[in-house]
């Protein structure tokens, strides 16, 4: 699948949500695969506009990935005391990972978020093992600000990264 610019963002719809439930990532990224047995609850959550999930599509309307903004992009145990910073969650379609698209998608997502909410800073929380994503986020201007062990039944190491407003990312996006 060839991804073409610009990338467009639209609130999550049912068809997109259902297709995302079928995504399966190879090791060591399998934790990002959809595993819920309650598909209807997940669909309802993804499509609830208050949760701010967006589909990311290319110029040919092909699904590239998704992004989310706010509390649902946070991981329990992290430091989220700076309320002015916008949290961003991001995922690429499994067959598009590792193909050099990450920076373009991150930059377009930052530009979209800047256009929608104009926060002074952006924060991404990423699993510490995911060095591929960490490198992309660093190239997009993010810097590590906090490391922590998530709370919950299966604690995992995470890194929080913060960036200031994007620079020239606006040329990569279109909102729909």
pLDDT tens profile 82-119: 999 999 999 999 999 989 999 999 999 999 999 999 99
d(CA 121, CA 119): 5
Chain centroid offset of residue 161 CA:
13
Residue 1 domain-assigned (yes or no): no
CB atoms within 10 A of CB 90: 20
Residue with tokens 């719809």: 13
The total domain count for the chain is 1
CATH (domain of 136): 3.40.630.30
pTM for the whole structure = 0.88
Confidence class for position 170, pLDDT limits 50, 70, 90: very low
Q: Yes or no: say if 108 and 56 are a contact pair by the CB < 8 Å rule.
A: yes
Confidence class for position 36, pLDDT limits 50, 70, 90: low
Residue 11 domain-assigned (yes or no): yes
Print the domain residue range for 114.
Answer: 7-175
Q: Looking only at Cα atoms, what is the longest distance across the chain?
A: 42
Instruction: Supply the pLDDT for residue 40.
Output: 85
82 secondary structure, DSSP code: -
Please compute the mean of the pLDDT values over residues 123-148 and round it to a whole number.
97
Residue 2 domain-assigned (yes or no): no
**Helices 102-117 and 131-139 meet at what angle, rounded to 10?**
60
Q: Which two tokens stand for residue 70?
A: 């706010």
Residue with tokens 């929080």: 160
Please compute the mean of the pLDDT values over residues 124-131 and round it to a whole number.
96
Instruction: Supply the pLDDT for residue 9.
Output: 97
d(CA 116, CA 114): 6
Instruction: Supply the pLDDT for residue 172.
Output: 42
């Amino acid at each position: 699948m060839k991804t073409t610019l610009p990338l467009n963002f639209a609130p999550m719809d049912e068809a997109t949500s259902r297709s995302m439930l079928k995504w399966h990532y190879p090791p060591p990224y399998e934790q990002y695969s959809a595993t819920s047995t309650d598909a209807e609850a997940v669909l309802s959550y993804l499509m609830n506009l208050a949760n701010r999930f967006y589909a990311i599509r290319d110029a040919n309307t092909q699904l590239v990935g998704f992004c989310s903004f706010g509390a649902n992009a946070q991981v329990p145990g992290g430091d989220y005391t700076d309320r002015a910073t916008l949290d961003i969650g991001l995922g690429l379609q499994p067959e598009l990972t590792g193909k050099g698209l990450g920076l373009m998608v991150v930059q377009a997502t930052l530009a979209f978020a800047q256009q929608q909410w104009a926060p002074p800073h952006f924060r991404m929380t990423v699993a510490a093992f995911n060095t591929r994503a960490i490198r992309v986020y660093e190239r997009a201007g993010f810097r590590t600000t906090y490391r922590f062990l998530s709370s919950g039944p299966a604690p995992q190491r995470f890194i929080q990264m913060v960036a200031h407003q994007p620079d020239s990312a606006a040329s990569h996006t279109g909102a729909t």
